[in-house]
Amino acid sequence: MIGESFVLLLGLKGMAAQHVTTLEALAGLIDTWRPQALMIDTRLTLAGNTGFVRTLSLDSAHIGTLLLAMSNFLPEDVVKDLQAAGYDGHCRRPCAMWQVSELLSEFFSSAAPR
């Protein structure tokens, strides 16, 4: 439900967004759609899939894609470990979706060529 709500909120800000619930679906999606950012629930990478984000971050086809980890407040993910895994940033739930959407909006508007 949070993912779908986030997609709607980003859509209201004029951003294209998709929601998937498995790494397999995400892998298929990023092969056909080149997103500017991926917000990945860290629970998806717990079951032996920790190399997925590292591989994605090193893939030349996805250079420049912002990789954000979304995690629960417990168990607490160590930010250094998330960075070592290839994530660029981290949001810990509960986090206000409107703040995350504002952050993304500001990040990409300031990154746009002038």
- What CATH number is associated with residue 89? 3.40.50.2300
- Determine the number of helices (DSSP H) and then strands (DSSP E) in the chain: 5, 3
- Please indicate whether residue 77 or residue 39 has the higher confidence score (pLDDT): 39
pLDDT tens, position by position, 12-62: 888 888 888 888 898 898 888 888 888 888 888 765 566 888 888 898 888
The closest of 57, 61, 72, 12 to 34, measured between CA atoms, is 61
Structure tokens at 5: 């709500």
| Beta bridge pairs of residue 39 | 68
pLDDT band for position 114 (cuts 50, 70, 90): very low
Residue 29, domain extent: 2-111
pTM of the entire predicted model: 0.79
Arithmetic mean of pLDDT over the chain: 81
Strand spans (E) along 1-114: 37-41, 66-71, 89-92
pLDDT at 10: 83
Domain count, the chain: 1
